[in-house]
Amino acid sequence: MQDRTERALGLMMRFADRTGVMSTCPSRRYLWTDAFAVCNFLGLATATGEARYTELALRLVERVHGVLGRHRADDVRTGWISGLSPQKGEAHPTCGGLRIGKLLPERGPGEAMDERREWDRDGQYFHYLTKWMHALDQLARATGQMMFNVWARELAEAAHRAFVYVPPGSGAKRMYWKASIDLSRPQVASMGHHDPLDGVVTCGQLDATAARVHPPAPGPRLATAAADFAAMLERRQLATADPLGLGGLLVDAYRVAQLTQQGAWSRDDDLLETLLAAAVAGLQHYLRQPDLRSPAAHRLAFREFGLAIGLAAVERMQEGARHDSEGGSVTAGPRARLAELARYTRVGEEIASFWLIPEHRQERSWLDHEDINDVMLATTLLPEGFLVLQPVH
The pLDDT tens digits for 24-37 are 999 999 999 999 99
Mean pLDDT of 160-177: 94
Residue 312 to residue 382: CA distance in whole angstroms: 10
pLDDT at 1: 66
pLDDT at 34: 98
Output the pTM of the full model.
0.97
Mean pLDDT of 250-270: 94
Mean pLDDT of 309-335: 83
CA separation, residue 16 to residues 134, 290, 380 (Å): 20, 34, 18
pLDDT at 331: 83
pLDDT class of 325 with cuts at 50, 70, 90: low
pLDDT at 185: 97
3-state secondary structure of 70: strand
Residue 253 to residue 312: CA distance in whole angstroms: 12
Rounded to 5 degrees, φ, ψ at 175 are -130, 145
What average pLDDT is seen over the chain? 95
CA separation, residue 103 to residues 5, 123, 287 (Å): 32, 10, 33
Render pLDDT for 90-124 as a digit per residue (tens, 0 to 9): 999 999 999 999 999 999 998 999 999 999 999 99
One DSSP character per residue, 301-321 reads HHHHHHHHHHHHHHHHHHHHH
pLDDT at 330: 73
pLDDT over threshold 70, residue 326: no
Render pLDDT for 66-81 as a digit per residue (tens, 0 to 9): 999 999 999 999 999 9
pLDDT class of 42 with cuts at 50, 70, 90: very high
pLDDT at 329: 62
Spell out the residues 6+ positions from residue 364 whose beta carbon is closer than 8 angstroms to its own: 297
Q: Is 213 left (phi over 0), alpha (psi -120 to 50) or beta?
A: beta
Running DSSP on this structure, what letter comes out for residue 104? B
